[in-house]
Amino acid sequence: MLFNRERAEAVMQRHGLDALVAASPDNVLYATNYECVTHWLNKGFQLYSLFSPGHAPAASLIAPSLELDAIVDGDVWVEDVYLFSPFPRGPAQTDAMDSTGRAAKELSERAHHVGRALDGLVAAIESRGLTGGRIGIDESGISPLFWWELQQRLPNVDIVPANAIWWEVRMVKTADEIERLSRASAITETAVKAALRGIGPGSTERQVIDAYHSAVTAQGGRSTFCILGSGSRTAQPHALASDKVIEAGDLIRYDIGCTYGYYHADNARAVVLGRPTGEQSRIWEAMAQGVDDAVGSMRPGADVRDVYRAAMAPGQALGLENFERFHCGHGIGVSVYDPPVITLADPAASAFLMPAVDGGLEAGMTFSIEVGYYIQGVMGFLCEDTVVVTDTGVRHLTANSKSLDFEAFIA
């Protein structure tokens, strides 16, 4: 199961919550295993789940009737279901239905039927006698209008914004989550090597990017991004796809991702299509060493600030001008950026708006550790590995070579 129920209960107790509501696609999927296509495609779409471990049932799912088949056809563990927005289907005799149709019909008959998603959430709260309770609501996925209406309909409920609380729960991954992350990383690494092997005279960056996307799909992944630049375009941290021809001797830098079962991969390397220069080698070795040293410092109890310092030390020792980074890594999971953030700063006061971690790393946390350096309009480097913290250190989820030499990397 994706949901770390034991951790959720401990976090809720620490925050004094009677119930915790998920509203964003990320959090609802995590909390219930429910994959709702409409929710992922339409970010303003409203559906919720509620978890209240002190009550029976412990969890409820508030989902659209349109996609009730996805509940029974998937791996949803929540049995208490509220269906909103009626979606009529043509009549059929039970013996003419397939197994999914019969299961969906049975679910519809035992589910609670309500008009809107918010009606279902209110009913689930009221059914538990929580009209005077303290409830964490995931503000990242609930519309401001519905938030206001919820306050009007449940005036005695102490409503607490809870997106950061969900992040806190999700920081430590379950075995099922780590398996998806591991598969996603393997897909990206295999796909980028396949794409780079196809480089020949006249190959363009866009052709390599297209080949990467195709290779991801062929392995059962869903491609999310492929940032790839060559020559001076490697200096652009998030270079857009272009038809630039990749020339012999070019530096090539990639930063790639995909999802497998909605869980993300994010890793990066640089290679030279020919013989690296001395400057390229020195910079790259400092970036790669920074990643290795940071990963080597990670274990339960380690402070993210110490991990950051380890990542930055080789580049600083090299004397690179303006070698400054806000972060040298981030958590990764059902979001490509999960907390904790590897930084000296307060991530809650940054563009990331993520909670800081004061108690040190924990076994089960997963990270993309990255160190990069960009010389404006000339060249850029980024090295990034994905790891999971174990009881004794870390386990790598990425395995591609860190060689700057193209042929060695491919081999």
Per-residue pLDDT reduced to its tens digit, 165-191: 999 999 999 999 999 999 999 999 999
Q: Two tokens at 318?
A: 């090299």
Report the pLDDT averaged over residues 1-26.
Answer: 97
pLDDT for res 96: 86
Asked if 226 contacts 213 with a C-beta cutoff of 8 angstroms, the reply is yes
In which band, very low, low, confident or very high, does the pLDDT at 201 lie, cut at 50, 70 and 90? confident
Report the pLDDT averaged over residues 17-38.
Answer: 96
In which band, very low, low, confident or very high, does the pLDDT at 80 lie, cut at 50, 70 and 90? very high
pLDDT for res 397: 98
Q: What percent of the chain has pLDDT over 90?
A: 92
pLDDT for res 7: 97
Domains, the chain: 5-170 (3.40.350.10), 175-410 (3.90.230.10)
pLDDT per position as a tens digit, 274-311: 999 999 999 999 999 999 999 999 999 999 999 999 99
pLDDT for res 275: 93
Cα–Cα distance measured from residue 262 to residue 25, given in angstroms and rounded to the nearest whole number: 10
Asked if 257 contacts 188 with a C-beta cutoff of 8 angstroms, the reply is yes
Cα–Cα distance measured from residue 367 to residue 361, given in angstroms and rounded to the nearest whole number: 10
pLDDT for res 120: 98
User: What's CA 214's distance to the chain center, in Å?
Assistant: 21
Q: What percent of the chain has pLDDT over 70?
A: 100
* Residue 350 pLDDT greater than 90, yes or no: no
* E strand segments, 291-365: 329-331, 338-341
Asked if 188 contacts 226 with a C-beta cutoff of 8 angstroms, the reply is no
* Residue 25 pLDDT greater than 90, yes or no: yes
* Residue 94 pLDDT greater than 80, yes or no: no
Cα–Cα distance measured from residue 39 to residue 131, given in angstroms and rounded to the nearest whole number: 27
Considering only residues 379 and 359, tell me which one the structure prediction assigns the higher pLDDT: 379
Cα–Cα distance measured from residue 165 to residue 182, given in angstroms and rounded to the nearest whole number: 25
Asked if 98 contacts 134 with a C-beta cutoff of 8 angstroms, the reply is no
* Residue 352 pLDDT greater than 80, yes or no: no
Bridge partners, 372 (sequence order): 382
* Residue 365 pLDDT greater than 80, yes or no: yes
Report the pLDDT averaged over residues 373-384.
Answer: 97
Cα–Cα distance measured from residue 111 to residue 338, given in angstroms and rounded to the nearest whole number: 34
Q: Is the dihedral of CA 411, 277, 206, 287 positive or negative?
A: positive
Which of 63-67, 158-162, 342-346 shows the lowest mean pLDDT across its residues? 342-346
* Residue 357 pLDDT greater than 90, yes or no: no
pLDDT per position as a tens digit, 119-144: 999 999 999 999 999 999 999 999 99
Asked if 121 contacts 142 with a C-beta cutoff of 8 angstroms, the reply is no
pLDDT for res 304: 95
Question: What DSSP string describes 16-37?
Answer: T-SEEEE-SHHHHHHHH----H
Q: Two tokens at 373?
A: 């350096």
pLDDT for res 316: 97
Q: Are strands 394-396 and 379-389 parallel, antiparallel or unpaired?
A: antiparallel
pLDDT per position as a tens digit, 252-261: 999 999 999 9
pLDDT for res 219: 98
Cα–Cα distance measured from residue 26 to residue 4, given in angstroms and rounded to the nearest whole number: 14
Q: Is the dihedral of CA 190, 196, 200, 205 positive or negative?
A: positive
pLDDT for res 360: 93
Report the pLDDT averaged over residues 22-39.
Answer: 96
Helix (H) or strand (E) holding 48: strand 48-51
pLDDT for res 90: 85
Asked if 234 contacts 372 with a C-beta cutoff of 8 angstroms, the reply is no
Report which of 339, 338, 17 is spatially closest to residue 160, judged by C-alpha positions.
17
pLDDT for res 75: 92
Report the pLDDT averaged over residues 27-47.
Answer: 94
Question: What DSSP string describes 352-380?
Answer: T------S---TTBEEEEEEEEEETTTEE
Report the pLDDT averaged over residues 368-377.
Answer: 97
* Residue 356 pLDDT greater than 90, yes or no: no
Bridge partners, 112 (sequence order): 82
